[in-house]
Amino acid sequence: MAGPTGLLLDYHGVISDIERFRREWSRLLGDFLSQRFGSTPEIWREANRSARQRAASRARTREANRATNGQEQPSRNERIDWLRDVLVLAGSGVPDEDELHRTAIEVLRYVTRNTQSAVPAAATTLRILHERGFRLFTASGDDSVNLSNYLSALGVRELFEQTYGADLLGVRKDGPAFYATLLARESLDAARVIVVDDDAHRLDWARALGMNTLLVGQKDASSSHPRVQQFAELPSALGSGRFRSPAV
């Protein structure tokens, strides 16, 4: 039987170091907003921390409402609410909603195109996998445009056929439907796909759909999923007896 052909890669915690990512995101955001609206980067970073807490609270409410009536808050409104909170908390004036949205898009574009938070040897690892014939896709809860920008900053966007996030699939990464939708969108055979993530419970969803799984990192010590400690170990792991590249 031919080996797997598809790699569905989580971004945060797999390709990107989460703690470094958060520091980079905060630094770039503070730099951009201080140049645009004045004040200091530190004030903007602190305002963003509080704004993100408010955004998380709204997200929990949306999830509860979605479970009840199936409706989701549009991304546009999420971005507007987030930036409005940042501006208010920093003591800055607040423009109208159209201008808020335009500015939020500009902020996010700047931050995501300049973030450098990849784990060691991430770009080299991805190039090796691509050269072996694996079809590369992201499988992340982040927005697809953000993911594309992060990979462009890393210099590897062209290696990926698509940067799937929850927005592009129309399904949040909170259950097996996320992976099922991605499989259907790309007409992928579940048995010939490997899902790589740093959270075992997400890999449980993938395995339940008949997909191969690989856990990255040290979390979930009792997990039964095959594991590598570092992303750079993927080529060796996928060349083992359990995982064969398409060329084998």
For residues 75 and 139, state if they share a domain. no
**125/86 same-domain check:** no
Pick the closest to residue 37 from 101, 89, 92 (CA basis): 92
Note whether 106 and 67 are same-domain residues: yes
Read off the pTM. 0.87
Average pLDDT over residues 100-108: 94
Amino acid sitting at position 67: A
Domain final residue, candidates 57, 82, 114: 114
Domain extent, residue 38, equals 20-114
Q: Is 203 found in the same domain as 85?
A: no
User: What is the model's pLDDT at position 59?
Assistant: 76
Kindly state the average pLDDT of the residues 216-245.
85
Structure tokens at 190: 């579940």
Q: In sequence order, what DSSP letters do the residues of 35-70 get, joined into one string?
A: HHH-S-HHHHHHHHHHHHHHHHHHHHHHHHHHHHH-
Q: Is the dihedral of CA 21, 22, 28, 32 positive or negative?
A: positive
144 three-class SS: helix
DSSP three-state, residue 7: strand
Q: Residues 75, 196: one domain?
A: no
Domain count along the chain = 2
Amino acid at 30: G
The count of other CB atoms within 10 Å of the CB of residue 51 is 21
Whether residue 39 sits in one domain with residue 11 = no
At residue 227 the predicted structure's pLDDT band, cuts being 50, 70 and 90, is very high
Indicate whether 76 and 96 sit together in one domain.
Answer: yes
The verdict on residue 169 lying in a domain is yes
pLDDT score of 65: 64
In the structure, what pLDDT confidence band is assigned to residue 64 with cuts at 50, 70 and 90? low
What whole-number distance in Å separates Cα of residue 105 and Cα of residue 28? Answer: 14
Residue 61's pLDDT is what? 78
Q: Do 44 and 151 have their domain in common?
A: no
My answer on whether 51 and 127 are in the same domain is no
CA atoms of 204 and 175, how far apart (whole Å): 9
Q: What is the pLDDT of residues 127-177, one digit of tens each?
A: 999 999 999 999 999 999 999 999 999 999 999 999 999 889 988 899 999
Residue 104 shares a structural domain with residue 151:
no
Are 186 and 232 within one domain? Answer: yes
**In the structure encoding, which two tokens stand for residue 33, read together?**
């907003």
Domain boundary pick from 63, 93, 114: 114
Select from 89, 114, 139 the last residue of a domain.
114
Tell me the CATH number at 234: 3.40.50.1000
Say which amino acid occupies 58: R
Q: Is residue 205 part of a domain?
A: yes
246 in any annotated domain: no
Length of the chain equals 248
Q: What is the DSSP string of 195-224?
A: EEES-HHHHHHHHHTT-EEEEESSS-TT--
Each residue of 11-36: pLDDT tens digit?
999 999 999 999 999 999 999 999 99
Q: Do 149 and 81 lie in a common domain?
A: no
Strand order in the sheet with 193-197: 160-164, 135-139, 6-9, 193-197, 212-216, 227-228
The answer to the question of residue 1 being in a domain is no
Contact yes or no for 25/212 (Cβ under 8 A): no
